Amino acid sequence: MGAVEDAVEAALTVLAAKPSALITDVDGTLSRIVPRPADATVEEEARASLRSLASQLDLVAVITGREESVARGMVGVDELTYVGSYALDARRGLTFEAVEPALALVEQLLMELPCVELERKQVSFALHYRNCVDAERIGSELVEMLEPIALKTGTKLMEGKLVIEVTPSALPDKGTALTGLLLEHEIRGVVFLGDDLADAAAFGEVSRRRSDGAAPGLCIAVVDDETPQGVRDAADREIRGVDDVERFLELLAQRLAERGD
């Protein structure tokens, strides 16, 4: 049995616990990581599988660091529930102003690193260094540069695949977002797919619920050559890249239909 088929079998067992949910990241999971984040897309085959799953499960949702409206347009499946900006709650009073002091300092330093692309988000900004010739060295330099800025401005750093995001220190993480969804929908069985360190927080929440005996859960890491070891260590299963995710979603939808879920 291959890795995808094994993940499907494990997911079917978890999703038998009702109400059930499939929750997924977007970048690097549903969509391939590309040089310019704005160019990322989700293939129609994945969209069709997600539509089918949304009709068979109690909840199919997306949790992403992208703004909700951006993620909704990118995935393009209205039947899903979208949680953007790591479940930012407007009642927290967080706005982009929280990171503007950090951005002002960073922009001055970025003049010496033209290969780094700055991406502004709803309440944060990201520095993508994928297009730098010596990306590993540039990444280390960015961390060294950003750590004192974050300390000075009351922000925090979130590292990902060749990207560092600067966020307000009070910004929720994906574990918080996942918890909110599961409580709101009274979910028991949950499958979560993700590929990066931000997703490891959600993996941890799934594992905690399972350990507490609250509900069955499955964490699937979508791995490639850039996957941090911490993501793999936190997962229950691994599949290889977006191609495997597309196959996983297709097979899972088929198997659920066959058993009448």
Tens digits of residue pLDDT in 4-37:
999 999 999 999 999 999 999 999 999 999 888 8
| 125-153 tens-digit pLDDT | 999 999 999 999 999 999 999 999 999 99
Q: Does domain 92-168 have CATH number 3.40.50.720?
A: no
pLDDT for residue 87 is more than 70: no
Give the type of residue at 182.
L
Give the type of residue at 163.
V
Rounded Cα–Cα distance for residues 40 and 28 (Å): 9
Q: What is the CB-side half-sphere exposure of residue 42 using CA atoms within 13 A? A: 24
Tokens of 141: 């330099």
Q: What is the pLDDT of residue 37?
A: 86
Q: What is the pLDDT of residue 36?
A: 86
Tokens of 254: 């088929």
Q: What is the mean pLDDT of the chain?
A: 92
- Give CATH for domain 3-87+172-258: 3.40.50.1000
Q: What is the pLDDT of residue 123?
A: 86
CB atoms within 10 A of CB 243: 13
Mean pLDDT is lowest, of 89-98, 154-163, 173-182, for 89-98
Q: What is the pLDDT of residue 77?
A: 97
pLDDT band with cut points at 50, 70 and 90 for residue 232: very high
Pairing of strands 20-24, 189-194: parallel
Q: What is the pLDDT of residue 95?
A: 81
Domain ranges of the chain: 3-87+172-258, 92-168
Rounded Cα–Cα distance for residues 185 and 50 (Å): 18
Q: What is the pLDDT of residue 93?
A: 64
Query: DSSP alpha helices (H): ranges in the chain?
Result: 3-15, 44-56, 68-75, 100-110, 135-153, 174-184, 197-211, 229-234, 241-258
CA 121 to chain centre: 15
Q: What is the pLDDT of residue 78?
A: 96
Q: What is the pLDDT of residue 88?
A: 59
pLDDT band with cut points at 50, 70 and 90 for residue 92: low
Q: Could you tell me the CA-to-CA distances from 60 to 16, 77, 144, 185, 206 in Å, in that order?
A: 15, 10, 39, 11, 15
- The enclosing H or E element of 186 equals none
pLDDT band with cut points at 50, 70 and 90 for residue 91: very low
Mean pLDDT is lowest, of 213-217, 233-237, 244-248, for 213-217
The reply to whether 3-87+172-258 and 92-168 are identical in fold is no
Quick one: residue 198, left, alpha or beta (phi over 0 = left, psi -120 to 50 = alpha)? alpha
Q: What is the pLDDT of residue 50?
A: 98
% of the chain surpassing 70 pLDDT:
96
